[in-house]
Amino acid sequence: MVKNKSNNVICQVCGAKNILGDEHCSSCHSDLDLAVSSLSPSEDSFSDELLNRKVIEIAGGKAAVLKKNSLVSSAIDAMNETGRDIVIIEEEGRVEGIFTVRDIIYRVLSKNLDSNKTKLGDVMTENVEVIEKDEPIASALHKMAFTATRHLPIMKDGLYLDTVSIDDIMKYFSDELEKASL
Whether residues 15 and 104 fall in one domain: no
Q: Residue 145 contacts by C-beta under 8 Å, 6 or more apart in sequence?
A: none
Question: Is the residue at 156 inside a domain?
Answer: yes
- How many structural domains compose the chain? 2
Whether residues 41 and 80 fall in one domain: no
Helix (H) or strand (E) holding 8: strand 8-11
Does this model's pTM top 0.75? My answer is no
Question: Is the residue at 178 inside a domain?
Answer: no
Whether residues 134 and 60 fall in one domain: yes
Question: Is the residue at 37 inside a domain?
Answer: yes
Helix axes 137-147, 45-52, angle to 10 degrees: 80
Whether residues 44 and 100 fall in one domain: no
Whether residues 37 and 72 fall in one domain: no
pLDDT tens per residue across all 182 residues of the chain? 344 445 567 777 777 777 766 777 777 777 776 543 444 444 467 777 778 889 999 998 899 999 999 999 999 999 999 999 999 999 988 999 999 999 999 999 999 999 999 999 999 999 999 999 999 999 999 999 999 999 999 999 999 999 999 999 999 988 888 877 76
Question: Is the residue at 70 inside a domain?
Answer: yes
pLDDT value at position 7?
59
Whether residues 29 and 115 fall in one domain: no
**Dist. CA 170–CA 153, nearest whole Å:** 17
Whether residues 66 and 91 fall in one domain: yes
Whether residues 27 and 81 fall in one domain: no
Note down the domain range covering 31.
Answer: 8-52
Whether residues 70 and 96 fall in one domain: yes
